[in-house]
Amino acid sequence: MKNIYNFLSSFPILLVTIGLGHEKGVDATQKDASRHMENGNALLAAGQLAEALNHYNSAIENDPDNFMAYYRRATVYLAMGRSKSALPDLKKSSVLNKAFSPALVNHGNILMKQGHLAAAKKDYEAVIANDPSNKEANEKLRLVDPLIANIKQGDALMKSRNFQEALQYYNAVIDHCIWFPDVRINRAECYLQVGEVYKAIDDYKVIVKLTNDNTQGYYKMSGLHYQIGDLDDALVDIRECLKLDPEHKECFPFYKNMKKLNKQLMKAKDYENEESYEDAIGKYEAAKKTEPNNWAYVSRADRGICHCLVKSFKTSEAITKCNEVLADDVENIDVLLDIGEAYIQNEEFQKAIDEFTKAHNIEDSQRTQDALKRGNKLLKQSLKRDYYKILGVKRNANKKEIIKAYRSLAVQWHPDKFEDAEEKVKAEKKFIDIAAAKEVLTNPEMREKFDRGEDPLDAEEQQQSNRGNWGSPFGFNPFGGGGGHSFKFHYN
């Protein structure tokens, strides 16, 4: 409703006349016309455009010479965004009442917006001939010749490939001729030449609305969206082209290729979500073969491969692939976080911190803060005790592998195997670490804490009640007794 009032405020004459009583008629037909005018005026004021339009149609049927009925109907068309439909009514209104200047001024305004500057100029001159003091007509008339000159200058600069300068002139034209498709097409081309793809797309969004059945416009816009990696929007555009012409010689093959690529990328994402990382990598590789020459999609596939390699703990391959992506996309947050995770898997905590810091400097968000905090915790933790290193297993080792490593080391370092006092003390310390590592890494909750950078057996991080009989922070006696876990080995 607010928009309707804002729109109507641009037509002062309408606000003045909207409350006027109906024109007095002598016969029933004119009375019907007046009644429809009154109803139309009330509905227009209430913002009920479709209903108002019906009444103005009836008013014109009953009284075809009512200039105000045509003007009001044109006003409704304009409020509906149907400027082309408004033009004939505005012209008819001005012909029926040559002294009614608003109809011809608004007719000229629409022509100016459409880029028909010579025709708009005639309208303004006709208004001024009858009403020399008409302020709006005089102001608009003064714009016409400079706008024509700007178009010529822009075209000349574009022809000489001075695209940046041409844009200045085209911008000045479109400020007043917002529905001028020819200038928008030229401006879009200039934007493309100076690398402003998104601005070119914005112009094409208007162009396809201004011209009927513009398959070429949809094809061009789809290609631009596709070029910058906006596959979803590219598909929307190309489908609009195919609605107009299902067998379009350019749109149809382009659509088939995009549809294939989109299916591969979506399937890869589905596999990722299912944690089927090998299958996901296969689909990403297939997508690269489908579109090997577009950096946006090759990079998108490589980002996916980088992520899947990290998730599947193929650490060396992941670091290589992620670095390949970062070489061309140095500020990609997702890849920086992924390669940082790969460095953690590789026990290179300082490198992980470096990557997380880069990500955080680009995007100060919760995820980058959490990653950086975790990296620092893990580095600090690694300077104390790293349970994975103690057992000699990878960070993605399963429980069976952990227990196997533990048993082997426990046998090797059991204190009963050592007679020398100094070696026995060393073995006891080693055995405690081995037992602690097994305790943490076979307990899902404790292992999750450790992977976050928290040592669940660290004295500083535990409650006083968790301390064990040996004065140890572990809360258990690795050699038996004390109510904790008991490990006994017998040797022949």
Handedness of CA 84, 86, 90, 92 (dihedral sign): positive
462 falls within a domain? yes
pTM: 0.71
Cα separation, 85 vs 218, in Å, equals: 24
Q: Which pairs count as long-range contacts for 18-22, CB under 8 Å and 24+ apart, including other chains?
A: 18/44, 18/45
Q: d(Cα 183, Cα 149) in Å, to the nearest integer? A: 13
In 3D, which of 344, 411, 405 has the Cα closest to residue 378?
344
Residue 241 lies in a domain: no
Note whether residue 345 is domain-resident. no
The DSSP code sequence of 196-213 is -HHHHHHHHHHHHHHSTT
Give the integer Cα–Cα distance in Å for 359 and 330. Answer: 10
Q: Does 301 fall in a domain?
A: no
pLDDT tens for the chain, residues 1 to 492: 444 445 444 444 443 344 444 444 446 788 899 999 999 999 999 999 999 999 999 999 999 999 999 999 999 999 999 999 999 999 999 999 999 999 999 999 999 999 999 999 999 999 999 999 999 999 999 999 999 999 999 999 999 999 999 999 999 999 999 999 999 999 999 999 999 999 999 999 999 999 999 999 999 999 999 999 999 999 999 999 999 999 999 999 999 999 999 999 999 999 999 999 999 999 999 999 999 999 999 999 999 999 999 999 999 999 999 999 999 999 999 999 999 999 999 889 999 999 999 999 999 999 999 999 999 988 887 777 788 888 888 888 898 988 998 898 888 888 888 877 777 787 788 788 888 888 889 999 988 888 887 888 876 665 533 444 444 444 444 444 333 344 444 433
User: What is the per-residue DSSP string for 186-250?
Assistant: HHHHHHHHTT-HHHHHHHHHHHHHHSTT-HHHHHHHHHHHHHTT-HHHHHHHHHHHHHH-TT-TT
Separation CA 375–CA 390 (nearest Å): 20
Q: State the residue range of the domain holding 422.
A: 401-466
Residue 426 lies in a domain: yes
Is residue 431 domain-resident?
A: yes
pLDDT value for 89: 96
- The amino acid occupying position 180 is F
Residue 459 has what pLDDT?
Answer: 66
Total tally of structural domains belonging to the chain? 1
Q: 33 in helix, strand or coil?
A: helix
Q: What is the CATH number of the domain that holds 447?
A: 1.10.287.110
- pLDDT value of residue 416: 82
Q: Is residue 413 part of a domain?
A: yes
- 3-class SS of residue 17: helix
Residue 263 lies in a domain: no
CA distance 181 to 140: 20
